[in-house]
Amino acid sequence: MLKRYIPTYHAKSIYDVPIAFLKSINVTTVLVDLDNTLDSYRSKSPSNSALVLKELYDEAGIELIIVSNNTKKRVEPYASKLGVRFIPSIGKPFSKNIKKALKELSLDKDNVIMVGDQTVTDICSANLSGLRSILTDKIVKEDQPTTHFNRLFDRPIRRSLKRKNLLKEVG
Ligand SMILES: [Mg+2]
């Protein structure tokens, strides 16, 4: 039961994942969740941190692709301002659309990692897709109302992962 929620790694946020670390584990593509992973769900435009991150990834030859359960209306304006490809309504925790995306974008699983702030959606879908993952903490306290239900599961799962020493820090 817990197994599908175990991330490969944990980091405080995506901004705390060293690029050198990603390179050391052969990552060339980061599939990243948007809300509460890159920015607050209220942020219509990328934060300065997100813009800097994108620049650093570009320099390192790592592509950032947003994979979100949120709508195209939410994701598209943000993603185009950040200058990244994106897939909205991806249907996490299921793996169907992620597998489809890997195929369509010709991505090799061995060079991809998923980053997200929820065990029950982001990490579960990575595991079901056979992808490595990094679980992050929420970057802001406030979640979108639709996420409140997921947190009822996410919180005890995180506690359990911590207690069992299953959160391996990046770096
Ligand atoms: Mg999220």
pLDDT at 171 over 90: no
Of the pLDDT bands very low, low, confident and very high (cuts 50, 70, 90), residue 119 is very high
CATH of the domain at 154: 3.40.50.1000
In a domain, 170, yes or no: no
In a domain, 168, yes or no: no
Q: Which residues of 13-40 are buried (b: 16+ CB within 10 A; e: fewer)?
A: bbeebeeeebeeeebbbbbbbbbbbbbb
Beta pairing partners, 44: none
The answer to whether residues 45 and 17 touch, using CB atoms and an 8 Å cutoff, is no
In a domain, 41, yes or no: yes
Torsions phi, psi of 65, nearest 5? -125, 125
Evaluate if pTM is beyond 0.95.
yes
150-166 pLDDT, tens digit each: 999 999 999 999 999 99
Q: Which of 24-33, 78-87, 114-123, 144-153 has the lowest mean pLDDT?
A: 144-153
Give the distance (Å) from ligand 1 centre to CA of residue 45. Answer: 16
Please give the tally of structural domains in the chain.
1
In a domain, 167, yes or no: no
The answer to whether residues 14 and 136 touch, using CB atoms and an 8 Å cutoff, is yes
Mean of per-residue pLDDT scores for the chain: 97
In a domain, 169, yes or no: no
Q: Is 14 left (phi over 0), alpha (psi -120 to 50) or beta?
A: alpha
Of the pLDDT bands very low, low, confident and very high (cuts 50, 70, 90), residue 1 is confident
In a domain, 20, yes or no: yes
Give the distance (Å) from ligand 1 centre to CA of residue 35. Answer: 4
Give the distance (Å) from ligand 1 centre to CA of residue 69. Answer: 8
Domain of 85? 3-162
